Amino acid sequence: MTLQKNSLEWAIEFLEKHSDGDLFPKILELVAIYEKRDDFIALVEGKQLSEFEPKPCRRFIVPKDEISYRQATQLYPQDSILLSALVHQFGQGIEDRRLDSSQVFSYRFSPSIDEGLYKAKTAWNEFWSSAYNKSQNSSTILYCDIADFYNQIYHHSVENQLIESGFPNQAVKWIVSLLESTTAGVSRGVPIGPHAIHLIAEATLIPIDNSMKTNGLNFLRYADDIIVFCDSDKESKSALSLIASVLDKQQRLMLQRHKTRFYKPEDFKVLCANMIEDRPINKNEERLLGIIQRYTGGNPYASISYNSINLEDWKQFSESVVSNIIKEYLSKDEVDYIRLRWFYRRLSQVGHPGALDVSIKNLERLGPCLANICTYIASIQSIDPEEWKKVGGKLIALLNTEEIESNEFFRLSILSLFTKNKHINHFTSLASRFQCSDPFARREILLAASQNEAVDWLREYKEASISMDPWQKMAFLYCAARFPTDEKKYFINNRFKPEGPYDVTLAKWSKST
């Protein structure tokens, strides 16, 4: 079994355009693979998957809200490309076995470069809108949630469902070996973060969906959220017992007790309204979202360039208006971080600096939105270089705060901003942190050195690069493109030992850039 060229091309282009997930900064080196994609594909196409042993991933504890966290994983880029290509090539086999999209809404397979692997970016809203409508004909509604779903998925369940879905044996073995590499050999759990993993997780729920349908439950599902519509309290309790039994017998899964509830229609309708993402907190947010909708046509990936937006529309995103929207979210007793993250994603589409100061000043409270805030800051348009340098100074100050110092993910996210914008600068301060930083931070500082053309500083670490971990080595190889031609060719040819198609391609790009 070998990967097809068109699937590899799709995977490389998608990852370079949209990143490998929503939780982590985009891997800068992917641009090198995109530019040399023919070389990478030539090293993979026609080869057996068993030749490409999974490489070390990165794992972080990422906040979900003010009191809860989740473990998130970023795959090594070569593994991200191969996994995305596999799902692109064989994912339709999973999709064909699933219940109708009017019943199971999450991660419906329909790959496109603009939209990604999945069909409807509005699926979450459609799920709750459909639930709202169905509740009108019900006496009692059961809402339940599978506890810690991604971390509880057995690898043998993945294996069985991939085989049932027509994945070739080699593809199944490679995916299972990848999963095992992210769980330290434990045969349970799939990584949270990579786009392609969602469809694999959905595959494991196919038998559960089928069982619930066979047992006559009138239900809707989105990922680990299950809603059952019943004609009586007695029926809803029977449904709960049935679901608990099915989950246990099928995969030893359990329901999350504190999220399992019975609702009367009037209360459930309130829940539905609160769950829909596109629910502005005030009239100002509603107005801004309307402007974004008008320019993007509702495409959540589309960006609005400064030159294309009407000046009057641009002025609507003033600092006072945007900061007041964010402050209103933060003023609530229970901050709706899901909705706030969604708002930051919309702000990233327009790139107006209106949310910059309020975000930096309140970053400690905005921790669950940090990845989205960093994406937003990286998207900002029309700021003078001197203003950017002031922003950099504020970010440096944040690195010294207790909350940022104590969390690897926070440090990584903030440092990543210095790798994308040379005007933020402050590399002298970053360089002074290098020796005492963790490996994740060191990688970002290396990339920031390249952005700031600190070639002489980078040169001092050529010897040390030999003992760097794979993620730092990847960054240093990317940075080596800054060295003079003869120097970088000698260094790469004599001191660097590429391991796999990704490293070989990155080395070739670095020597030729």
DSSP string, 161-230: HHHHTT--HHHHHHHHHHHHHHTTT-SB---SSBTTHHHHHHHHTHHHHHHHHHTT--EEEETTEEEEEE
Rounded CA separation 221/489 (Å): 54
CA 389, CA 395: separation in Å to the nearest integer?
A: 10
71 close to 192: Cβ distance less than 8 angstroms: yes
Q: What is the pLDDT of residues 348-380, one digit of tens each?
A: 999 999 999 999 999 888 988 988 898 899 899
Of 204, 114, 94, which is closest to residue 159 (Cα–Cα)? 204
pLDDT digits (tens, 9 = 90+) for 197-227: 999 999 999 999 999 999 999 999 999 999 9
The DSSP output letter for 71 is: E
Q: Are residues 245 and 284 in the same domain?
A: no
Distances (CA, A) of 213 to 216, 220, 238, 242, 246: 5, 10, 14, 11, 11
| CA angle at 193 for the pair 161 and 404, rounded to the nearest 5° | 155
pLDDT of residue 277: 67
> C-alpha distances in angstroms, 175 versus 2, 85, 108, 203, 210?
14, 12, 20, 13, 24
Inside any domain, residue 299: yes
- Does some domain include residue 265? yes
Indicate whether 450 belongs to any domain.
no
SS3 61: strand
pLDDT at position 364 is 82
Q: Are residues 314 and 361 in the same domain?
A: yes
Q: Is residue 448 part of a domain?
A: no
Q: Are residues 212 and 284 in the same domain?
A: no
Among the three residues 274, 289, 315, which one is the final residue of a domain in this structure? 274
Q: Is residue 226 part of a domain?
A: yes
CA 163 to chain centroid: 27
**Other CB atoms within 10 A of residue 343 CB:** 24
Q: Could you tell me if 52 and 191 lie in one domain?
A: yes
Same domain, 139 and 228: yes
Are 49 and 136 members of one domain? yes
239 with 337, same domain: the answer is no
Same domain, 38 and 67: yes
In 20-103, DSSP assigns E strands to: 58-63, 69-74
Print the domain residue range for 331: 278-383
Q: Within the chain, which residues score under 70 in pLDDT?
A: 120, 277
Q: How many domains does the chain have?
A: 2
pLDDT at position 383: 87
Question: What pLDDT, in 10s, does the model give residues 41-63?
Answer: 999 998 999 999 999 999 998 88
Both 267 and 301 in a single domain? no
* Residue 51 included in any domain: yes
Q: Which two tokens stand for residue 65?
A: 């809200």
Among 383, 401, 432, the domain-final residue is 383
Q: Are residues 332 and 199 in the same domain?
A: no
Tokens at residue 256, please?
Answer: 């999350």
**What local confidence, expressed as pLDDT, does residue 447 receive?**
97
Angle at CA 204, nearest 5°, toward 199 and 210?
Answer: 110
- Would you say residue 32 lies in a domain? yes
User: Quick one: 188 and 290 in the same domain?
Assistant: no
Is residue 31 domain-shared with residue 168, that is, in the same domain?
yes
Q: Which of 336, 354, 383 is the last residue of a domain?
A: 383
297 domain-assigned: yes
